[in-house]
Amino acid sequence: AQSVTQLGSHVSVSEGALVLLRCNYSSSVPPYLFWYVQYPNQGLQLLLKYTTGATLVKGINGFEAEFKKSETSFHLTKPSAHMSDAAEYFCAVSENPADGLTFGKGTHLIIQP
């Protein structure tokens, strides 16, 4: 069975500082990995995904994530935080393109002015 662990239910950074949201996964086969963002009372928006190929994946809004198989990690980063980045972030994994996703518990990102 697959699972996702997101370290830190809340992360607070200052505006302009580096954003680092941690995600570790377990999967018995090469995984498909995703990061989604959710704003209050809204659905999920895909930030980026890893399927195959290049392990450094660039997404929307300046976010990127690196797939590290040896560490079973897929951490999300952004060089400079913006107030509009405040939201809930979910890491998700899938072992098969036809399957639903297994989500982590989410990390609430707080941006301090």
Partner 1 sequence: GAVVSQHPSRVICKSGTSVKIECRSLDFQATTMFWYRQFPKQSLMLMATSNEGSKATYEQGVEKDKFLINHASLTLSTLTVTSAHPEDSSFYICSASGQGGYNEQFFGPGTRLTVL
Applying CB under 8 A, among 29, 43, 70, 83 the residue interacting with partner 1 is 43
**CB burial string 76-113: b at 16+ within 10 A, e below:** bebeebeeebbbbbbbbbbeeeeeebbbbebbebebee
- Tell me which stretch binds partner 1 (CB under 8 A): 14-22, 69-77, 79-87, 89-97: 89-97
Distances (CA, A) of 100 to 5, 17, 19, 25, 103: 17, 34, 28, 15, 10
Applying CB under 8 A, among 13, 19, 23, 106 the residue interacting with partner 1 is 106
With respect to partner 1, which residue has the nearer C-beta, 1 or 113? 1
Does residue 15 bind partner 1 (CB under 8 A)? no
Residues at the site binding partner 1, with contacts judged by CB under 8 A: 32, 36, 41-46, 49, 51, 90, 94, 96-106
